[in-house]
Amino acid sequence: MAPAARGTGRQPGVPVTGLTIDRGQSDPGRWPYTVPAVRHVYESGLALAPGATVLIGANGAGKSTLVEGIAAAWARRVTAFREDWLQRSIAEPAAEDSDLHRALRLSCTRGGPTGGLFLRAERLHAQAEQFSGRGRWRERIDGPLLDRSHGEGFLQVLAGMTAEPGFYVLDEPESALSFDSSLMLLTILQDMLAAGSQVVLATHSPVLAALPGATLLQLDDGGITQVEYDDCDLVTSWRAFLERPAAFLRHLR
């Protein structure tokens, strides 16, 4: 079982140390608190390790629900510190998002970075104007993002953030990326982490789940469990399929 949330402290480069849910602002009898992963945070809290945390699990396990709530809670906190495009760009909850962010509480460090971004691959073009031709980002991003492919634009935005330490939340970025581009993203993420950023990543990609040094959390009917890469369902399932695809495909006939 993943450890409970830790208290605050002074850890520059580690903006968020854990999550809890305000029980006075939540109803455990209704969605999303009935999702096992969210219920886990409700009952026990969740620690976030320094560096990168990767959330994996089947569709419906609660990955996107958690990252949406985390991003909105961070945006609410940091708006008071700096009024720049990074804060405005951190996702405001969309119409389809849950209201988890209203009850989610972040344990944050003192003296750590206060920037960051929530980036969903499918919403990159909707956010494109915020990333192009504005202030220092005019130099970091060469040309309009809408002139690039979806995957190229996604990588260009993240590459421009390597020098801006903060708290970065990514929801299934692999949907915009080829295999080679996924490897490029791993390199960019390593550069971001080396610069002092913290990353929370939800993914179905065994490539992105292999991010060196990341804490891997599996979300399933049992809640949230820290797992090793070689033992997690995501990796064992893909390996089994790639070794014997015919054994899986015969069921499609």
pLDDT of residue 138: 58
Boundaries of domain holding 247: 16-252
Find the CATH number of the domain harbouring 70. Answer: 3.40.50.300
Cα–Cα distance for residue pair 202/163, rounded to 1 Å: 22
Residue 83 domain-assigned (yes or no): yes
Residues 18, 47 contacting (CB under 8 angstroms): yes
150-192 pLDDT, tens digit each: 567 778 777 877 877 888 899 998 887 899 999 999 999 999 9
Closest residue by Cα to residue 225 from 31, 61, 108: 61
Residues 71, 169 contacting (CB under 8 angstroms): yes
114-160 pLDDT, tens digit each: 677 888 766 655 665 555 555 555 566 655 555 556 567 778 777 87
55-105 pLDDT, tens digit each: 999 999 999 999 989 988 888 776 544 444 444 544 555 555 678 988 999
Residue 3 domain-assigned (yes or no): no
Residue 7 domain-assigned (yes or no): no
- Domain count of the chain? 1
Residue 238 domain-assigned (yes or no): yes
Cα–Cα distance for residue pair 108/15, rounded to 1 Å: 6
Secondary-structure breakdown of the chain: helix, strand, coil percentages, each rounded to the nearest 5? 45, 20, 40
Residues 6+ apart with CB under 8 A from 130: 85, 88, 89
Residues 225, 47 contacting (CB under 8 angstroms): no
Kind plus residue range of the DSSP H or E element containing 8? none
Residue 1 domain-assigned (yes or no): no
- What would the mean pLDDT of 217-225 be, rounded to a whole number? 97
- What would the mean pLDDT of 30-41 be, rounded to a whole number? 96
DSSP string, 60-79: TSSHHHHHHHHHHHHHHHHT
Other C-beta atoms within 10 Å of 30: how many?
9
Q: Does 6 or 107 have the greater pLDDT score?
A: 107
60: left (phi over 0), alpha (psi -120 to 50) or beta: left
Residue 199 domain-assigned (yes or no): yes
